[in-house]
Amino acid sequence: MSLKHAILVQLETKPGSGYDLLQHFKGGLGYFWNAKHQQIYQQLKKLTEQEFITFSLEQQNGKPDKKVYKITELGIKELKRWLSGSVKPNKINDALLVKLYGGHLIEEDNLVNELKCHQQTHEKIYNNLLEIEQTYLNSSLPSREKYKLPYLTLRRGILGEQAWLSWAKEALQMIKK
Amino acid sequence: MSLKHAILVQLETKPGSGYDLLQHFKGGLGYFWNAKHQQIYQQLKKLTEQEFITFSLEQQNGKPDKKVYKITELGIKELKRWLSGSVKPNKINDALLVKLYGGHLIEEDNLVNELKCHQQTHEKIYNNLLEIEQTYLNSSLPSREKYKLPYLTLRRGILGEQAWLSWAKEALQMIKK
DNA sequence: CCTCCCATGTAAGCCGTTACATGATTGC
DNA sequence: GCAATCATGTAACGGCTTACATGGGAGG
């Protein structure tokens, strides 16, 4: 049930539309949570009903209208309540590993191709994260201080992807042998 | 929708009860998928209806009866079909990172404690995985060859946990500064 | 023309969690 | 006595995915 709180956290730092939130969830700093637009719009609706957020309509020229959401006092209270509680360690449900585990039932080429395909995806994400890190590291000291905690989530992404890529290299070598 | 296939993969290597499967999902080699008993029993029911698995009742002395499931020909066919397809990269939904991201709203001590608490959990998992690795590495060559692919999923776990622990160390240092 | 981007939603259905339920045995 | 382990399930609810739906503007 953290999508709600992931949205609240984002809106607390900066008001935005459902579409804006979606971009964040796709992009780098949204590394920590994934959501599709359908789910985001549904949650925004619920959060509005609960009065944790409000929205104002913004007209744009040449583009559709936007609903710009921002967090309310009540929303900040709820967010603080949630942040003060403890969260459960992340659980891992990785379909690729299920496939590997049962890999003896299929052709080796299939396995190798799948791994290489995933490797490419992870390399892209990794490079993307490194770019964002560079932007952070080149920013001013007060800015770096301000975004210290979000930067830590970025670091989690970077170290996680490094580990994934090391593993993939090792795995490909071992399969080919 | 991979829990079904995670179960099939497990039953393909060795028949077992719902309870046995649960232990696998909790223990080391089940690192790649998580499930609670309620969900496992439900899926076993569905898989039985679809005739991908069958079960036989086994009586035990001093313990409740067991339903020992095993995969059918049809089940193996279905499993091979699924294994031959491609799977999507894993998505990350990490509540701890959401909490960190919004950490400026709560006290630093809260954040540090939460991190340390998760650190302990991950250390336990890590040590557990290393133990299993030792058992694998000390096994006979034909055995090592046989469990080559499951071993790769174990390696994923080990490298993943190493990365997590490195990150946590870094994060704690950075927060305290 | 076709595709991508912007921007928002509804509805159906499966996936997963939480709560509830039972009952014997073993160890502290 | 109390908790843990073995062993299996049902029911309700909320989370998440997939499919369907609309509609204008920009660029190739």
Look at residue B5 and tell me whether its pLDDT is greater than 80: yes
- For A100, the closest chain B residue by CA position comes to B149
Look at residue A138 and tell me whether its pLDDT is greater than 90: yes
Look at residue B31 and tell me whether its pLDDT is greater than 90: no
Decide if A103 and B110 are in contact by the 8 Å CB cutoff: no
Q: State pLDDT tens for residues A50-64.
A: 999 999 998 877 677
Query: How high is the pLDDT of residue B47?
Result: 96
Query: How high is the pLDDT of residue A31?
Result: 81
Closest in B79, B98, B175 to A105, CB measured: B79
pLDDT-derived band at A116, boundaries 50, 70, 90: very high
Helical (H) or strand (E) element with B173: helix B148-176
pLDDT-derived band at B177, boundaries 50, 70, 90: confident
Residue nearest to nucleotide D16 (CA to C1'): A39
Look at residue A68 and tell me whether its pLDDT is greater than 80: yes
Mean of per-residue pLDDT scores for chain A: 93
Look at residue B36 and tell me whether its pLDDT is greater than 90: yes
Decide if A105 and B150 are in contact by the 8 Å CB cutoff: no
Residue with tokens 């009540």: A74
Task: Mutation target for B interface from A39, A94, A173: give the one with most B CBs within 10 A.
Answer: A94
Look at residue B62 and tell me whether its pLDDT is greater than 90: no
Mean pLDDT score, B135-154: 95
CB atoms within 10 A of CB B36: 11
Q: How far apart are CA A19 and CA A22, in angstroms?
A: 5
Q: State pLDDT tens for residues A149-161.
A: 999 999 999 999 9
Query: How high is the pLDDT of residue A62?
Result: 67
Counting one residue from chain A and one from chain B, the pairs whose CB atoms sit within 8 A come to: 194
Residue A16 is classified by DSSP as: B
In chain B, what percentage of residues exceed pLDDT 70? 97
Closest in B88, B89, B149 to A101, CB measured: B149
Decide if A152 and B100 are in contact by the 8 Å CB cutoff: yes
Look at residue B27 and tell me whether its pLDDT is greater than 90: no
Q: State pLDDT tens for residues B69-116.
A: 999 999 999 999 999 999 998 888 999 999 999 999 999 999 999 999
Would you list the DSSP string of B67-103? EEEEE-HHHHHHHHHHHHS--PPPP---HHHHHHHTG
Residue A100 is classified by DSSP as: H
Tokens of B13: 């290597």
Query: How high is the pLDDT of residue B28?
Result: 66
Query: How high is the pLDDT of residue B133?
Result: 94
Query: How high is the pLDDT of residue A63?
Result: 73
Mean pLDDT score, B127-134: 92
